[in-house]
Structure 1
Amino acid sequence: MQLPIQSQSTIYAEPWEAAAGPGDLRAIAVAADRAGFDYIASCDHVGVPHRLAPAMSTIWYDPVATLAHLAAVTERVRLLSHVAVVGLRHPLATAKQYATLDHLSGGRLILGVGAGHVREEFETLGHDFRQRGAVLDEVIDALRAALGPEEFPEHHGKFYDFGGLGQLPRPAQPRVPVWVGGSSPPAVRRAALKGDGWLPQGDPRDRLPEQIATLRRLRAEAGIEKPIVVGAITEPLYVGRPDWEVGRRTITGAPEALAESLRAYRAMGVHQIQVRFRCRSRDELVDQITAFGAEVAPHLDQ
């Protein structure tokens, strides 16, 4: 699941999150860890301009600081950046942060990356917004090198050139998985050719089969035999029968009914689903997480 509180876009934030803080975030992460969730995720924006603030808000926690903080209070749940706008930073700086996070967490990092969409962020930080796709393509290659086993990584490309600078500690994982986010044709192509996983951005169910077919076709044409982890963001969920208005798109009901609906994603070729729960408080969210882990998840593999 993507964590609440750490990003509060009006598209998905619940009213109670505005007054929540670090203690609430820790409690939710611990609940996800105990409930058997595969990962918790944190977003990335350096700054939000006035024109976008009414919709996006300006509450966006730093993903490395947030995930490192939560690594200390969890034991097994993986830590996903969903997604890091890595084109805003030098790849060596990004590698230093995320290698340290992986080292401190005992190898629980999944590095989710994306091109970004906020022009002012790029311009203010001195980057060409129009080149962000091409830059991301190279940054993924640079990060593969910089997060690899070598103490002195090297990369020689069009946008970045480095070598001879040692970085310890190395990641705990032999290979940090890189999942590529985005649903545009260039993002799907990037995921197919460069990713260990694909993170679509909340696409409706009926769009996913065609996109997954395109993903597989592109990998086959490139001769890539290694499997790719295909993800999906589900509709909002509520375990049980709510006595309040949860929204027309929310899937509600008994655990078996929710599991039956969610198994449709697996039939499309999806390997992991990112869930989001409607809730009115932190305690209700923790209850939903706990109920999902205990009562819904066991039915997903049937």
Structure 2
Amino acid sequence: MRIGLSTPVVVQLPGHRSDWEERATVEDLARVAAVADALGLDHLTCSEHVAVPVETAATRGATYWDPLATLSFLAARTTRIRLATSVLVLGYHHPLALAKRYGTLDRLSGGRVVLGVGVGSLEQEFALLDAAWDDRGRRADDTLRSLRAAWGRPEVDGLVIEPHATSTHVPVWVGGRTARSLRRAVELGNGWMPFGLPSDELGALLARVELPPDFEVVLGPGRPLDPLGDPDRARRRLIALRDVGATVASCAVRADSADHCCDQLGALRDLADEIGD
């Protein structure tokens, strides 16, 4: 099981963010990303919300950095760690626009893009962007098929796309919390990235589906880990993810500063190595 970082600062969820993230600088963010890269962590993440209604910000959070701008910045401050959207809402984008924009990021980063994608769940945001809410699942499937067909190709349907991604394959992790999202991931993606599901439900859903070879199950521990302050609990939570079927754990860590966050990542790396042994 590989370990990735649910990037601090760029998404600040109530009950999950640490206080230091509210006052963090861009250089703090860059330093954390560089340490994650040097430690050999699997990926960094950034989510997508254009605007969150005031009445839902208390539960969803209000801070969402733009994923394309953010991951482009992090690409320039790292060398090997993968850059994962977590997630792009497919209904907000034309597939060729995604192929061009994130294909450019893929080229800038040397082929490190992972597309985490989802159907979307915030109706007010769909309305803001004049995106179709009804039948959004089917529309998302169509967009995903078109995106995969266009990815990394210099010409699509008589249209030139330059620059384009470094190859015609891109890892696609499908987000969601339903059996349908898992089926979508198996049929159209390379991995499943569910959220908000207990371990027993995750295990039951995964047991019903024959997963393709090299399919990635990307799970999070729920709450941020504290590898330095409570290593036993952090170890148990990582083992629980592995045992339910995770091939990748996407983790956040508790911290009181950027320096502390970097130290926590080192301890998290050590725990992951210990579990692997």
Per the normalisation by structure 1, the TM-score is 0.85
**Inter-CA distance 52–264: structure 2 relative to 1 (3 Å threshold):** closer
Name the residue aligned to 1:283: 259
SS in 1 for 2:54: coil
Name the residue aligned to 1:69: 73
2: CA distance, partners of 1:108 / 1:96: 15
Name the residue aligned to 2:216: 229
Name the residue aligned to 2:191: 197
Name the residue aligned to 1:298: 273
Q: Deviations over 1:271-302 (max 9, x none)?
A: 11111111222221111012222x21221222
Contact 2:195–2:220 at 8 Å: present in 1 too? yes
**Inter-CA distance 282–131: structure 2 relative to 1 (3 Å threshold):** same
5 Å-filtered alignment, 1:1-302, equals: 1-148=5-152, 150-153=153-156, 163-216=157-210, 225-235=212-222, 236-240=224-228, 242=229, 252-253=230-231, 258-259=234-235, 261-293=237-269, 295-302=270-277
Contact 1:40–1:78 at 8 Å: present in 2 too? yes
Partner AA of 2:197 in structure 1: D
Name the stretch that deviates more: 168-177 or 60-69.
168-177
Contact 1:180–1:197 at 8 Å: present in 2 too? yes
Which one has the largest radius of gyration? 1
Q: Deviations over 1:132-157 (max 9, x none)?
A: 21111111101101214x3112xxxx
Contact 1:260–1:300 at 8 Å: present in 2 too? no
2: CA distance, partners of 1:215 / 1:25: 38
Name the stretch that deviates more: 12-21 or 114-123.
12-21
Identity of aligned residues (%): 36
Q: Deviations over 1:205-260 (max 9, x none)?
A: 222211211232xx5xxxxx5431111101431123x3xxxxxxxxx225xx7445
CA-CA distance at 1:45 after TM superposition: 0.5
CA-CA distance at 1:131 after TM superposition: 2.1
Q: Which runs of 5+ in 2 are unaligned?
A: none
Partner AA of 2:272 in structure 1: A
Q: Which runs of 5+ in 1 are unaligned?
A: 154-162, 220-224, 243-251
In the alignment of these two chains, the number of paired residues is 272
SS in 2 for 1:80: strand
CA-CA distance at 1:261 after TM superposition: 4.7
SS in 2 for 1:129: coil
SS in 1 for 2:134: helix
CA-CA distance at 1:174 after TM superposition: 3.7
Q: Deviations over 1:126-185 (max 9, x none)?
A: 11212221111111101101214x3112xxxxxxxxx22110122113411111011122
1: CA distance, partners of 2:91 / 2:15: 25
Partner AA of 1:8 in structure 2: Q
Q: Give the aligned CA root-mean-square deviation in angstroms.
A: 1.7
Partner AA of 1:290 in structure 2: G
Contact 1:202–1:234 at 8 Å: present in 2 too? no
CA-CA distance at 1:202 after TM superposition: 3.9
Contact 1:84–1:114 at 8 Å: present in 2 too? yes
